[in-house]
């Protein structure tokens, strides 16, 4: 049967691609609002530069390693340099142009790498970070994407990950954890209060992330069909219950609901439903959002009391939310909603598979992230000098300030012509 | 009675506050200021326009103290604010003619002697 393009499917994934690409600048706003004013530009730049570095590598090599036929652990080299990626569907079951699939998947690789930056804000050297992003995309993201979506071993075993709970959020969360340990905590960590400098900006970012997530989850159906509707509405529902539970937990503890907590809860709900959204009922989506909020809430509560300066809680929100969501996928997946039978339908097998997937993703990500940073550390320090950290990485790494009235700035005119 | 005015690095404010607290110096005023203390000016670039930032962000502390507290206040500020690099700041000690505590009308040394912490209602 010759491959047939579908106009509605193509339009839908085109829009979804733009939506997911928007999530990276949205993440820049989210993270940027959470750091101190002296570090906002560096924090936002770490997300923005991922668009370029990861995007370019995706085109050069990453896509091929993830999605061309290879061995079960990693893809081949068929699509290196975008060779062979045209306007025809990629196989007999696809209904959108291969080029569109390539672009859509690229936006996932970009946001995943950018997520890690939340763990090492305000002290990592920008050049070391860029080197890390490049290596990590090829050595962690591409293989794990191949395992799950590119026909690799997780796919063959039947491990479920609809839109990236394992591929995106577990890998980013675990990499963030390892990176925070290896780069080391900020000098002020545990000694001084470090407050978010612009909470409205963080909430704007959270809103845009939610908006973009409809493309992330809904678009992962790759077609205009019932699954796309199911995934999209589940994406709407899960953050609602996550926010309700989170606010309740805060209220019980402090007698107040916080805006930063609500913004965090939205993201946690979105992370939780990501692996499950195409396999579970809308009611289950509400349950997954609510249930995942509880462990994430307590991890994020406990983390600042430890030595681990995962500054913006990537492990707590994305790592924990991704792992719990992946496991709950095995509990709630339903034959009536496009999945295999889960634990609630009396079938423990899927939960065991999900656990295997989670453990394997954590193990490989931790090992490879450690390896990458160990090598980079041989060539260049991972963090800025103490004085630059005190002054702020915006000035030291970028020679700019996020907020300046320009008083005392003297124009330097070079005499080049 | 003296008014102690100190200009320090903003990133050292927390440490200075902590060391003042340990020295039992309580009443103070903090304001954000800009200034220049001879340090190298950072160079910044905006769309190809290079600028030299001649004024640095600084924090100014003003503390009215009785004679007995002058030296320990100075010591506490120096201990908290010193990095050893140019731009650590200055401490100025000024004579004060008169001090009035607004709440009670107490004057001079009485006015800068901390009251025992009142019980919160």
Residues, chain B: 121
pLDDT at A414 over 90: no
In the prediction, which pLDDT does A351 show? 96
The predicted model gives A353-376 an average pLDDT of 97
Nearest CA in chain A to B11: A390
pLDDT over 80 at A397, yes or no? yes
Q: Most confidently modeled of A16-20, B53-57, B101-105?
A: A16-20
Residue among B11, B42, B51 minimizing CB distance to A390: B11
CA distance A277 to A275: 6
Cβ–Cβ pairs < 8 A, chains A and B: 44
In this prediction, residues A350-363 reach a mean pLDDT of 97
Are residues A248 and A240 in contact, defined by beta-carbon separation less than 8 angstroms? no
- B18 interfacial to chain A (CB closer than 8 Å): no
The pLDDT value recorded for residue A400 is 93
Of A407, A411, A414, the CB nearest to B34: A407
Bridge partners, A410 (sequence order): B52
Residues of A with Cβ-Cβ distance to B43 under 8 angstroms = 399, 412
Any B CB within 8 A of A405 CB: no
Interface of A with B in 156-215 (CB under 8 A): 192
Calculate the CA A362 to chain-centre distance.
14
Here the ipTM equals: 0.75
DSSP state of A277: T
Nearest Cα residue in chain A from B58: A391
Query: Does the distance separating the beta carbons of B49 and A409 come in below 8 Å?
Result: no
Q: Could you read off the pLDDT of A311-350 as tens digits, one per residue?
A: 999 999 999 999 999 999 999 999 999 999 999 999 999 9
Residue A78 has pLDDT above 90, yes or no: yes
Whether the Cβ atoms of residue A111 and residue A23 lie closer than 8 Å to each other: yes
Q: Is B37 on the interface with A (CB under 8 A)?
A: no
Closest Cβ–Cβ partner in B14, B44, B49 for A395: B44
Q: Is A415 an 8 Å CB contact of chain B?
A: no
State the pTM of this model.
Answer: 0.91
Q: Which residue would you say has higher pLDDT here, B55 or A36?
A: A36
A192–B50 C-beta distance less than 8 A = no
CB-based contact, B40 to chain A, within 8 Å: no
Closest CA to B106 of B71, B70, B64: B64
**B54–A410 CB contact, under 8 Å:** yes
Average pLDDT over residues A297-313: 95
Higher pLDDT, B37 or A32: A32
Averaged pLDDT for residues B92-112: 91
Strands, sheet with A409-412, edge to edge from the N-terminal-most edge strand: A409-412, B49-53, B43-46
Closest to A266 in 3D by CA, of A243, A289, A299, A298? A243
Alpha-carbon gap: A409 to the closest alpha carbon of chain B (Å):
4
Report the run of H or E that residue B61 belongs to, with start and end: strand B56-65
Q: Do B55 and A408 touch (CB under 8 A)?
A: yes
- Measured distance CA(A131)–CA(A146) in Å, rounded: 22
**Residue range A120-143, pLDDT digits in tens:** 999 999 999 999 999 999 999 999
- DSSP per-residue codes, A349-414: HHHHHHHHHHHHHHHHHHHHHHHHHHHHHHHS-SB--HHHHHH-HIIIIIS--SS---TTEEEE--
Residue A363, C-beta contacts closer than 8 angstroms, at least 6 positions apart: none
Among B9, B36, B46, the residue with its CB nearest the CB of A400 is B46
Question: Residue A409: its chain B contacts at CB < 8 A?
Answer: 44, 51-54
Mean pLDDT of B73-91: 94
CB < 8 Å to B45, chain A: 399-400
Mean pLDDT of the region A352-379: 97
Average pLDDT over residues A70-78: 92
pLDDT at residue number A415: 63
Q: Name the average pLDDT for chain A.
A: 95
- B39 in reach of chain A (CB within 8 A): no
Asked if A411's CB is within 8 angstroms of B49's CB, the reply is yes
- For residue A3, pLDDT over 70 is answered with no
Contacts of A303 (CB under 8 A, 6+ apart): A310, A313, A315, A316
pLDDT digits (tens, 9 = 90+) for A247-265: 999 999 999 999 999 999 9
Spatial distance between the Cα atoms of A121 and A77, rounded to a whole number of angstroms: 34
Report helix, strand or coil for A173: helix
Reply yes or no on whether the pLDDT at B96 is more than 70.
yes
CB contact under 8 A, A399 and B54: no
Higher pLDDT, A2 or A410: A410
Nearby residues of B89 by Cβ (< 8 Å), 6 or more positions away = B6, B7, B8, B9, B37, B58, B81
If one counts every other C-beta atom within 10 angstroms of the C-beta of residue B95, the result is 7
pLDDT at A6 over 70: yes
- A32 band by pLDDT with thresholds 50, 70 and 90: very high
Q: Which of A395, A401, A408 sits opposite B34 (nearest CB)?
A: A408
Which helix (H) or strand (E) covers residue B95, if one does? strand B89-95
Task: Using CB atoms, pick whichever of B46, B52, B83 lies closest to residue A410.
Answer: B52
pLDDT of residue B72: 94
Residue of chain A with shortest Cα separation from B15: A192
Q: Is B116 a residue whose pLDDT tops 80?
A: no
Other C-beta atoms lying within 10 Å of the C-beta of residue B101: 16
Q: What is the pLDDT of residues A178-228, one digit of tens each?
A: 999 999 999 999 888 899 999 999 999 999 999 999 999 999 999 999 999
Cβ neighbours of residue A246 under 8 Å, at least 6 residues apart?
A261, A262, A264, A265, A268, A293, A297
| Model confidence pLDDT, tens digit, residues A49-68 | 999 999 999 999 999 999 99
Whole-angstrom distance, CA of residue A119 vs CA of residue A121: 6
What pLDDT does A409 receive?
A: 85
């Amino acid at each position: 049967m010759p491959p047939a393009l579908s106009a509605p499917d193509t339009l839908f994934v085109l829009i979804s691609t733009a939506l997911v690409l928007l999530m990276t600048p949205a993440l820049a706003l989210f993270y940027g609002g959470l750091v101190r004013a002296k570090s906002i530009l560096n924090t936002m730049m770490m997300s923005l530069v991922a668009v370029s570095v990861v995007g370019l590598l995706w085109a050069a090599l990453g896509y091929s390693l993830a999605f061309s036929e290879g061995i079960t652990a990693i893809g081949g080299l068929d699509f290196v340099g975008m060779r062979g990626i045209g306007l025809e569907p990629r196989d007999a079951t696809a209904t959108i142009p291969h080029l569109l699939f390539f672009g859509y998947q690229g936006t996932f690789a970009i946001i995943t790498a950018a997520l890690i930056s939340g763990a090492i804000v305000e002290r990592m050297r920008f050049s070391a970070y860029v080197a890390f992003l490049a290596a990590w995309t090829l050595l962690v993201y591409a293989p794990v994407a191949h395992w799950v979506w590119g026909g690799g071993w997780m796919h063959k075993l039947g491990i479920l990950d609809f839109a990236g709970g394992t591929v995106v959020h577990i890998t980013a969360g675990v990499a963030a954890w390892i990176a925070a340990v290896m780069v080391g905590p900020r000098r002020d960590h545990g000694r001084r209060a470090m407050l978010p400098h612009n909470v409205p900006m963080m909430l704007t970012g959270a809103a845009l992330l939610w908006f973009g997530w409809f493309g992330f989850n809904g678009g992962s159906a790759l077609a205009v069909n019932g699954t796309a509707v199911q995934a999209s509405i589940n994406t709407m529902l899960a953050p609602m219950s996550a926010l309700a539970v989170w606010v309740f937990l805060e209220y019980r503890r402090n007698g107040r609901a916080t805006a930063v907590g609500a913004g965090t809860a939205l993201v946690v709900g979105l992370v939780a439903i990501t692996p499950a959204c195409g396999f579970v009922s809308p009611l289950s989506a509400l349950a997954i959002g609510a249930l995942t909020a509880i462990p994430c809430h307590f991890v994020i509560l406990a983390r600042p009391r430890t030595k681990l300066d995962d500054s913006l809680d990537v492990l707590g929100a994305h790592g924990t939310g991704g792992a719990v969501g992946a496991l709950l996928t095995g509990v709630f997946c339903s034959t009536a909603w496009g999945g295999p039978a889960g634990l609630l339908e009396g079938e423990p097998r899927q939960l065991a598979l999900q656990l295997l997937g989670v453990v394997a993703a954590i193990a490989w990500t931790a090992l490879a992230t450690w390896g990458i940073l160990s090598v980079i550390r041989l060539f260049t320090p991972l963090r800025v000098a103490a004085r630059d950290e005190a002054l702020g990485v915006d000035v030291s790494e970028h020679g700019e300030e996020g907020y300046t009235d320009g008083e005392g700035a003297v124009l330097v005119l070079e005499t080049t012509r | 009675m003296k008014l102690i005015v100190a200009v320090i690095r903003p990133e050292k404010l927390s440490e200075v506050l902590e060391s003042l607290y340990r020295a039992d110096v309580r009443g103070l005023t903090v304001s954000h200021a800009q200034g220049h203390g001879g340090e190298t000016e950072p160079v910044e670039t905006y769309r190809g326009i290079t600028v030299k930032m001649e004024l640095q962000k600084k924090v100014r502390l003003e503390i009215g103290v009785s004679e007995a507290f002058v030296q320990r206040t100075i010591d506490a500020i120096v201990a908290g604010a010193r990095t050893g690099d140019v731009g650590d700041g200055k401490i100025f000690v000024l004579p004060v003619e008169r001090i009035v505590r607004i709440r009670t009308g107490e004057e001079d040394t009485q006015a800068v002697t901390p009251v025992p912490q009142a019980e919160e209602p």
